[in-house]
Every structure is written in C-alpha cells, then in structure tokens.
A and B are shown apart, each in its own frame.
Chain A
Amino acid sequence: MNAIMYPVSMAMRQTPLTCSGHTRPVVDLAFSGITPYGYFLISACKDGKPMLRQGDTGDWIGTFLGHKGAVWGATLNKEATKAATAAADFTAKVWDAVTGDEVLTLAHKHIVKSVNFTQDSNFLLTGGNDKVLRIYDLIKPEADPQEIAGHTSAIKKALWCNNDQQILSAADDKTIRLWDKNTQEAVHTLSFDASVTSMEYIPDGEILVITYGRTIAFYNAHSLDLIKTVDAPASIHSASLHPEKDFFVAGGDDFKLYKYDYTTKEEMESYKGHFGPIHTVRFSPDGELYASGSEDGTLRLWQTAVGKTYGLWKCVLPEELSSENSEVLYCPPAEIKA
C-alpha cells in the first residue's frame, strides 16, 4: 500500500457547510461531549425553535417546540441526553434530547439568557435579565432554586466551573464574577470598560475565554489572573479556544471568522461566508471543526484542518479530481447554500 502525503491544507480553500432551517438570527450554540453516537450541537434562535443537529455533519435531528419567544441560550449535557434552553418568554426549559419532549418548565421573572448543566446533569444554572443567578435541583424540580444575587444589570452568561463548585457569571454591569456555590459569595470580580460579549470556560487547563470590544482575552479561571489578550480587526461577539490550545477562533461585526495561533497571537486565516454579524462560535469537542451562528439565520461548520477527510468533507488528491474513477463528489462553487 502506498501512502502519499500531500500538503493539502496549503493547497485547499475552506468550504464551510451551511446549516439552514432557522428563520431568525442564531444567537447561541453549544456542543455536547463525545457520546457513543457521536457528538451533537444545539442552536438557540430568535425564532423560538432551538434545533438539535448531529455535530460532525450538521444534519438536523429535531426541533424543540414549546417556547413562546426568542430563545437566547441553549445547552446540552455531556451525554447529549438532556437539553436546556433560556428564552424571552421568561422561562428556562429542560428537554429530553433523545425524544425532543419538554421535561420541565422553570418560570422566571424576566427574560432568561443563559443555562448550564453541572457535569452530572443534576443541577441547572440559569441567569438573565432579573440579575439573579438560580440553581435548580433537577432531581427535586418543585423545590425553590438557590438564588445568588449581586449583579447590578442583566446577566448574559453563567457557567459552572472548578468541578461545579464555583460559578462564573458575566453581566451588562461590565463585570465578570466568580462565586462560590456554597457560600454564595463573590470570590473574585473582574471589571471592564466595555460590555463583555461572550464567555467560554475550558475545564481542562482552567482557562476562561472572554470577548469585549475588539479584544479576545484569556484568564485563569481560578484566580482570574490575565493570561493574554489579542485584538482583532473588528468588534468581536464570540471566541472559542481549540481543545489542544493551539488555535482560537473569533467572529463578530464584520461577518468574518478569524483564526489565530494561541501561542504567538498571530492571525492565521480569516474566512468570509456569513451574511450578517457572527453571534456565537464554538469548537467541537474533538477540535476537528468549529461552528458559527449568525444574524443571517444560519449555522456554518468550518474545518480546523482544511482539506482533511472528516464528516462531510472529503480529501481529494489532485489526480482524483480529473480522474474517471473518482466517486461522485460535490465540488462546490464559490458559495454553498443548504
């Protein structure tokens, strides 16, 4: 057997895969962990209908029906057996992610923006415009949630961290606070001059990725010490760090996706494709692709190693493109619309 190595990523142009179906802007997305059935992706949309997709292909699996307003946040548990959504109808909902059935509706006093499961899927953290963090025990859902107050403006994102013993929250009061779940006290606070637009927590390595203005900033998730910052050419709405911490991707106002080397902070690539600002971007759990959600109502999947065979992307050696023996392959024109 011959093995011929071609430097494909240098010769090939990125072909993003467009996932259509939403009818309004996509504002949040999340991946599950890697399960025996692959990994999954959930998207939150202003049309009120969050969707579940197969993570490596973007194939639609189902739509969670029930919310009566824009869905601002969506998440999956590690095993992709449960989903949670946060909506403008003042509720957070928990869903069975296999059947698509609504399992629980948690009434709030205002728009809910963020939902996050603990590792064991037993607790759900919510945050939103009423400025209060809430922890729901999913084993005893009728019980009142634990409440943590302190933020002086709407909460944008709330995440479990440090083995689910602490909580990180970002709010419109331009602070990020680290709370101890048991004492309910703020252990650390970070203040900014601008509103934080996104937050991602990487448990392996305890890194916090934050975006504000044109800046992508990396912090130690325990001490909230600054590791480094990188400035992009345009206002950034979301960023994600690769699991191996060699790259990160960011997107925002100029519709483009930027890829940076995490170590050198150099911009490696930028990709056009979306027809509107990018609101959310996340790496898949295996790091092979990243997904972006945009004001244009689409999700796009992008390869980390351009040209590699993975999911729906097929590595084609130069001879195969003109050969009569090649399988039927779809060679895309400049723009693909699904």
Chain B
Amino acid sequence: MKTPVSVLRLPRGPDPNSRGFDPNSPRFLALCPTTLSSSSSSGAVDEEEQRLRSDLRERFLRTLLLMTDKQVEFNMHEKVRVRARFGASDIDVLNFQVSGLETPLGVQKEALLRCQDVISCSFEL
C-alpha cells in the first residue's frame, strides 16, 4: 500500500468578497507605478482629475446609502426590468442584496442581483 505524498496545506481559494489582485502583494508594489506625480506640470491636471473622480465616487456611494430600504426599479440586460427593496451592496459592487424581488415567476423574498447584469436603477427619493 503506497503512502500518499504529504502536503503543507491546500491551495487557497478565491475570496468571496473581492476580485483579488492584492495591491499589497510584492509583485503589485514592484510593478505598478505609484499614482499622482506632483513634480511634473501634468501633476496639477492629475490632481484635478483625481478630485473629480473622488467626488463622483462619493456621490455614487451616497446614492447607494440613500437607496437602502427603498423600492428600486432595476433595468437589466436582455430587456429585464424588475423591482425590489434594496438592502445593500457588497464591497466590490458585485452583488446587490434585495428583498421582495418581483419577477415574472413570482415574488422572491430574498435575492442577490448580479451587478454586472444591471444597466441602471431608479428610485424615488
């Protein structure tokens, strides 16, 4: 009877909450240039762009907060339009947690919507 080869551990699987590519890994730190150069003249343009990006991001995150517990209509690929009560988004905006999802097959009490399938969503403030 042969002895099976021992292993130190099993290969690590995907993180369910993120798409990975750890920005603190040695490879990432070595190969990715640091953002924003302040010394060159284009530095000012970069800073302005970064400020605008930050503003847009903040507005997006505040919109998600405002959507919480509201009835939202989701406009999705393949001409799908569904309504549901928005619960929360995961950290990478990969999935939206919703309740009372109205579908042609009935109302789904709890569901996850895949964000890559969502084109737009609208709700009353």
Residue ranges of A at the interface with B (Cβ–Cβ < 8 Å): 11-15, 17-21, 37, 51-53, 57-66, 68, 81, 98-100, 301, 303, 306-307, 312-316, 318, 321, 329-332, 334, 336, 338
Contact B12 A12 (CB under 8 A): no
Give the shortest distance, in Å, between A28 (CB) and chain B (any CB).
Answer: 18
Contact B14 A63 (CB under 8 A): yes
Residues on B with beta carbons closer than 8 Å to the beta carbon of A314: 5-8
Does B31 make an interface contact (CB < 8 A)? yes
Contact B116 A338 (CB under 8 A): no
B32-85 contacts to A, CB under 8 A, are 32, 77
Contact B13 A19 (CB under 8 A): yes
Does B4 make an interface contact (CB < 8 A)? yes
Residue ranges of B at the interface with A (Cβ–Cβ < 8 Å): 2-15, 19-23, 25-28, 30-32, 77, 94, 116
Main SS of chain A's interface residues? Answer: loop
Residues on B with beta carbons closer than 8 Å to the beta carbon of A329: 6-8
Q: A60-B13, A68-B116 are in contact. Are A15 and B6 (CB under 8 A)?
A: yes
Contact A17 B8 (CB under 8 A): no
* 7 pairs, A vs B, C-beta closer than 8 Å: A13-B4, A19-B11, A19-B13, A63-B14, A98-B21, A98-B32, A332-B7
CA distance A321 to B4 in the complex (A): 11
Give the shortest distance, in Å, between A87 (CB) and chain B (any CB).
Answer: 13
CA distance A196 to B100 in the complex (A): 50
Contact A98 B7 (CB under 8 A): no
Q: A312-B11, A321-B3 are in contact. Are A81 and B31 (CB under 8 A)?
A: yes
